[in-house]
Amino acid sequence: MEITEKFRNMSKDKRMMTVVTVLGIAGLVLIMISSLVPEKKKTDELEYTAADEIFIAEGYRSETEKRLEDFLGSIDGAGDVKVYLTVGSDERYVYATEGRRSKSENKTEEERKYVMIGGGSDKSALVETVETPAITGAVIACSGFDSPSVQEQIYRAVSAALGIPTGKIYVTKLKQ
């Protein structure tokens, strides 16, 4: 009861009502201004640039080269092995979509939209998968190049490991 009586007394005082109204309007104006000011990005969020994507693709290529060198070196008769790979494209992001399909008499309409996550200005598309860079070719130099059976094993192993046709693989003798 005490609070309601104080509120009734305040509402009778014009000066107090003016102060409360001005403070309320000032609060609303501050809220509107804060929605117009862009948010600062968090320092722990990563921003990828074209240089970063090249660095990622380069790291993927060099790691794959090392693993392939180790593997090919274990082929009987291959000897020392050096591998050089060509990468055709950078990492590719595949975004999740949702859609609906409607059928009428003679036509079918399909609508697709990206699935968005986050709220406000932090909305972003949901990444469904990240495809690794595509390897488009390989050059292999090995000290066991003189043996046709070793050459054939290397062609088949590289083709199977990288999923590329043998026409995109070149095998040569390693300089001693």
42 sits in the region (left: phi over 0; alpha: psi -120 to 50; else beta) called: beta
- The residues spanned by each domain of the chain are 2-31, 50-100+111-116+123-173
Per-residue pLDDT tens digits for 126-167: 777 777 778 889 999 999 888 899 999 999 999 999 999 999
Q: How confident is the model at residue 14 (pLDDT cuts 50, 70, 90)?
A: confident
CA distance 167 to 152: 13
For residue 171, the one-letter residue type is: V
Q: What value does the mean pLDDT of the chain take?
A: 81
Reduced 3-state DSSP string for 136-161: EEEEEEECCCCCHHHHHHHHHHHHHH
CA distance 102 to 107: 9
First-to-final CA distance of the chain? 99
Under DSSP, is residue 92 helix (H, G, I), strand (E, B) or coil?
A: strand
Pairing of strands 97-103, 108-114: antiparallel
Give the model's pLDDT for residue 50.
Answer: 52
Is pTM beyond 0.75 here?
no
Give the model's pLDDT for residue 156.
Answer: 93
- The listed CATH number (3.30.300.30, 3.40.50.300, 3.30.56.10, 3.40.1190.20) that belongs to domain 50-100+111-116+123-173: 3.30.300.30
80 sits in the region (left: phi over 0; alpha: psi -120 to 50; else beta) called: beta
CA distance 173 to 84: 14
